[in-house]
Structure 1
């Protein structure tokens, strides 16, 4: 029997927590043995934070009355024994609703008033403006109270046509999607622009984020949903009615908001909901199955997806079966099959990405820690040879050796000027990188796009405008890549010189590859220009809509640029931290050598004692090498989570 999404997510959460524990233990062991430089320590912190806090977003998208909220109830909230998300006939979820958990925020439902659309700010901006949200505390142990609070997301306002037009819910040019006015000429619009539920649900605590979106008209009126939130979801569940199949409005949502050129669509799951409407007592089970299969094939052909990604289900019967613990009804609802596909595809992909990040981070850490150990081994061997040469020598020879060590130390410290010059040039080039990718430069590029979009009239050349903007953004990344190559050449030359002069083992870290961020830019461009189809030409004639579009785009592009800058900064810090580590080891080595000579000067017998100590330290370094390989292997092994307890015990034993 397939595992439910809840079971798979629970196992995924256990796996992540175990990895975070192992990382923490390894960090402590490295720190105790002075094997952590600044960049490796930062990488470890990033990995641990990623494991503990990385989110998995599932977006549920559908036109009104497809049973979307009921499906969320069935998959995630059946344990409450009742519906939590509002789910009834007609339009229920009127505003986009995010469900997640932040341990630093009290359990609550936060609601952003629809009137914020009149102000020139994106959703990203409003997230930090807590004073503008209406916050309602929730009691997660009281299902009735929680459900009542969640009904707030369905609240509406009745406004004049002028107000509806200003807020983006009425179009004089594209009248098909307009709401129907009442007898007084008013129309119904959502009361809230966005809702965020923060609650310690077991799955939400483990990093799941659920995005419940309203229908086509509301999605189109909030561009940030289309160009930011939905494209960044790790999986999109698109719900159709099994009785109606793919309607014209379903097809509009799919083509305008969910499909992008070049996107393989593997993270798109199509759900044919309400198959219970086909459970006809006058038809045999085989006839019912054949009818469902025809609807599946028709939907797959119309949407252009593989048949395996179209899953029939009855959310209402699935929820009912879970509450009543009715096994046969649960199987008949086909909900377990959907949960299995959702869990295996979504969580498997996420786990693979996290494993890749861990493997890369641990490989870099192991290399750097091993380099420090090799430097220590070499220094110990040199000390042993130096001290062995003192056997049988008189006091003046020993005194002369001390003077020579002090002279070496002085010459070594004199080379710091070259190192400071390297850091100065490196800092200057990095400032150039930040100038190219920083918020000021992005604001300038977005300003040009906004100016082009605000020109009067219908913009038939909008795709060309976007192409020029994204070409400029990609060129910025290429300019940074060229600057990085310039820094890399300088590092190679300086490191070679320092290695030759001081016997260092410096190796410039691999240059950051910004191609990944160029590809992200292209994906954003594709999703955005796909959205700018013929259906939106009239909306693009509205300055307010263009403003929203550019603000939403800016928010997403800022994330890409900041990630690229972080990659360059991490690479630069890696080079600097490696140099700092070897400078530290060399200074410690000078101190140890002078200390050894002083001890020998005070008592001749200390020479042999010191040689024995060095031999013991060398043996200790061999053991540290072995433990480093062993402990890092525990983190990169592909063993299942059930073995993690024993592995954690091994880390503690270290």
Structure 2
């Protein structure tokens, strides 16, 4: 299947998983088995399935056919080009294509002059009045394409302005753009573009990031330290006739290779293989040329040859528009689409499957223990009432007094349970402090100060390493603290289970190691800005300030995610205790009511035992049904998709959606 078809399947899979979780939540709610922790875990997972994004970033130097490739893979259903792809420079600023239901279809453009101000791109996103907005008519492909052409607009500025904007470097004259006859420099008119449109794939969660050439990438730290690392796949485009040029290699080494630990998420495309098609050259010779370019490009970039895919985006787009299967096969575009589907969507689904699987397992265990506790208490009640057969009123009254005494003793033990809570909350407060914003600021304070120093920043690499050493140390402390909280809870739960007959289970051990791995990736992704090749760019106050803000922004997001995971883990433990306390109090009330009814002759002993036996049978049926529901959810979770997909083409989907 093509990437578009695979994405449809992926979206159907997400919807089916969310439906199963909703069914489980409703079943638990109706039976008073859905505690606060389980409710939040299910809600978060359903939200994640509904709003999960898959970002594919396209990176290339100018004139590599990047925008044409985006048109061919994603927008051929419109029957024409949507992204500007004429000869020469096209997309001049980073462009994100996505869908937000709260916004009308529109193109938003951030002026390039905002680079002269200290705000980061993330901050500018929260200032919509600073962006120029153009409404899009998604029913009119011509208007859509014409409006999006604005991302190719340029300005002509003086050398001084170009230097201030980050497009002219006196220390690196070979990388500077050529001035015109009037001495002016051509620079992008816009700093960033956001396109919101109801394309079927975008509506289902696809985000496309179209990045311009080396100058624009290097001048925006947030691209390489925030946006590109977030991409689930990065497609790096080369020209098939030229292979890896000097500027291509700079982009790869400085901006892509440092964060390419997961090599299968980096695909290299040798585009424009149609330039090698030649009536004077045999097909075998053409194939040999393409094979050599693939192998040579892979060697230069340090990749496996299968990660370099040769295509013709222009012929692929033409073939899709004309529905020419022969030309489509010759363009080799389907090979790239299959690679994207296999590498991106399969990996994304594995991650989501792991979360669904973990949540189902936790729920199965927790609800199973709660059902077991209810069953045990019902059996004890039946045995308690069976012991009253043939007994007189005095014995019955004594039993009621004994139950009331047990209830008072249990309530008196609340102080001990509260003490467990207090110790638990004290440890949690210390844990959250290790992951809080104040701790981050303290750890990176010296780095922020070093980046603010004017001129060439000698020694900043050492300060950078020390800052991340402190951050890694703090995360290690948090990991140890989480283990201590876990051990403390395990001991307290064992004691409460023994004393009160609870069935408390400590949640699975909180593992913060993945955040340490992400922290290491963040550290690595910034290093290229601290080397000799960027020493003069780093000397620019505006650039250094943007870099500092980009680092801090990404760190904040990482630590917020870690804090949220701790909070969810805590609720899973606390809500379990609350649920069993609530069940025990209900059980006391039911036991007293049963004896009271017998005392008042409101119901015979046999009738009450029969009621409890019926409830026990219902509880057994609920247990069987819970086992069946979770088994079905687990089975469906492992299937590719349980929802049939109508056989319609992308063009038909687009017509229906717009």
Query: Given the two structures, how large is their TM-score scaled by the length of structure 1?
Result: 0.95
1:210-229 alignment runs, 5 A limit:
210-229=208-227
1:281 Cα deviation from its structure 2 partner: 0.9
Moved over 3 A (4+): 454-463, 530-533, 642-645
Aligned partner of residue 576 in structure 1, secondary structure? helix
Tell me the distance in 2 between the aligned counterparts of 1:258 and 1:268: 8
Is 1:182 paired with 2:172? no
Tell me the distance in 2 between the aligned counterparts of 1:456 and 1:390: 89
Is 1:384 paired with 2:382? yes
Aligned partner of residue 258 in structure 2, secondary structure? coil
Tell me the distance in 1 between the aligned counterparts of 2:112 and 2:438: 29
1:643 Cα deviation from its structure 2 partner: 6.4
Structure 1 residue aligned with 2:539? 541
Q: Is the CA contact (8 Å cut-off) linking 1:256 and 1:533 kept in structure 2?
A: no
Unaligned runs of 5+ in 2: 646-658
1:629 Cα deviation from its structure 2 partner: 1.7
Structure 1 residue aligned with 2:255? 257
Could you list the per-position Cα deviations for residues 603-653 of structure 1 after superposition, in whole angstroms to 9, with x for gaps in the alignment?
Answer: 2752111111111211222221221121112222222313689xxxxxxxx
- Count of aligned positions: 643
1:115 Cα deviation from its structure 2 partner: 2.0
Structure 2 residue aligned with 1:522? 520
Q: Is the CA contact (8 Å cut-off) linking 1:387 and 1:607 kept in structure 2?
A: yes
Name which of 54, 72, 75 aligns with 2:73.
75
1:261 Cα deviation from its structure 2 partner: 7.3
1:113-512 alignment runs, 5 A limit:
113-260=111-258, 263-459=261-457, 461-512=459-510
Aligned partner of residue 98 in structure 1, secondary structure? strand
> In the superposition, relative to structure 1, how do residues 262 and 189 fare at CA in structure 2: closer, same or farther (>3 Å)?
closer
Could you list the per-position Cα deviations for residues 47-88 of structure 1 after superposition, in whole angstroms to 9, with x for gaps in the alignment?
Answer: 111111111110000000000000000000000011000111
Q: Is the CA contact (8 Å cut-off) linking 2:447 and 2:460 kept in structure 1?
A: no
Name which of 33, 58, 68 aligns with 1:60.
58
Q: Is the CA contact (8 Å cut-off) linking 2:270 and 2:294 kept in structure 1?
A: yes
1:39 Cα deviation from its structure 2 partner: 0.8
Name which of 616, 619, 638 aligns with 1:618.
616
1:393 Cα deviation from its structure 2 partner: 1.3
Aligned partner of residue 264 in structure 2, secondary structure? coil
1:531 Cα deviation from its structure 2 partner: 4.7
> In the superposition, relative to structure 1, how do residues 126 and 8 fare at CA in structure 2: closer, same or farther (>3 Å)?
same
1:340 Cα deviation from its structure 2 partner: 0.8
Q: Is the CA contact (8 Å cut-off) linking 2:117 and 2:542 kept in structure 1?
A: no
Name which of 17, 38, 44 aligns with 2:36.
38
Q: Is the CA contact (8 Å cut-off) linking 1:446 and 1:550 kept in structure 2?
A: no
1:110 Cα deviation from its structure 2 partner: 1.5
Tell me the distance in 2 between the aligned counterparts of 1:518 and 1:491: 24
Q: Is the CA contact (8 Å cut-off) linking 1:241 and 1:272 kept in structure 2?
A: yes
Q: Is the CA contact (8 Å cut-off) linking 1:96 and 1:214 kept in structure 2?
A: yes
Could you list the per-position Cα deviations for residues 330-376 of structure 1 after superposition, in whole angstroms to 9, with x for gaps in the alignment?
Answer: 11111111111111111111111111111011101111111110110
> In the superposition, relative to structure 1, how do residues 643 and 616 fare at CA in structure 2: closer, same or farther (>3 Å)?
farther
- 501-510 or 243-252: which moved more? 501-510
Q: Is the CA contact (8 Å cut-off) linking 2:154 and 2:186 kept in structure 1?
A: yes
Tell me the distance in 2 between the aligned counterparts of 1:267 and 1:604: 71
Q: Is the CA contact (8 Å cut-off) linking 1:257 and 1:531 kept in structure 2?
A: no
> In the superposition, relative to structure 1, how do residues 404 and 572 fare at CA in structure 2: closer, same or farther (>3 Å)?
same
> In the superposition, relative to structure 1, how do residues 604 and 92 fare at CA in structure 2: closer, same or farther (>3 Å)?
closer
Tell me the distance in 2 between the aligned counterparts of 1:106 and 1:630: 44
1:493 Cα deviation from its structure 2 partner: 2.8
Q: Is the CA contact (8 Å cut-off) linking 2:260 and 2:266 kept in structure 1?
A: no
Tell me the distance in 1 between the aligned counterparts of 2:536 and 2:323: 51
Tell me the distance in 2 between the aligned counterparts of 1:421 and 1:106: 53
Tell me the distance in 1 between the aligned counterparts of 2:602 and 2:83: 83
Q: Is the CA contact (8 Å cut-off) linking 2:229 and 2:259 kept in structure 1?
A: no
1:398 Cα deviation from its structure 2 partner: 1.5
Unaligned runs of 5+ in 1: 646-654
Tell me the distance in 2 between the aligned counterparts of 1:51 and 1:362: 14
Aligned partner of residue 260 in structure 1, secondary structure? helix
1:30 Cα deviation from its structure 2 partner: 1.1
Could you list the per-position Cα deviations for residues 131-160 of structure 1 after superposition, in whole angstroms to 9, with x for gaps in the alignment?
Answer: 222222212111011111111111222222
Q: Is the CA contact (8 Å cut-off) linking 2:221 and 2:547 kept in structure 1?
A: yes
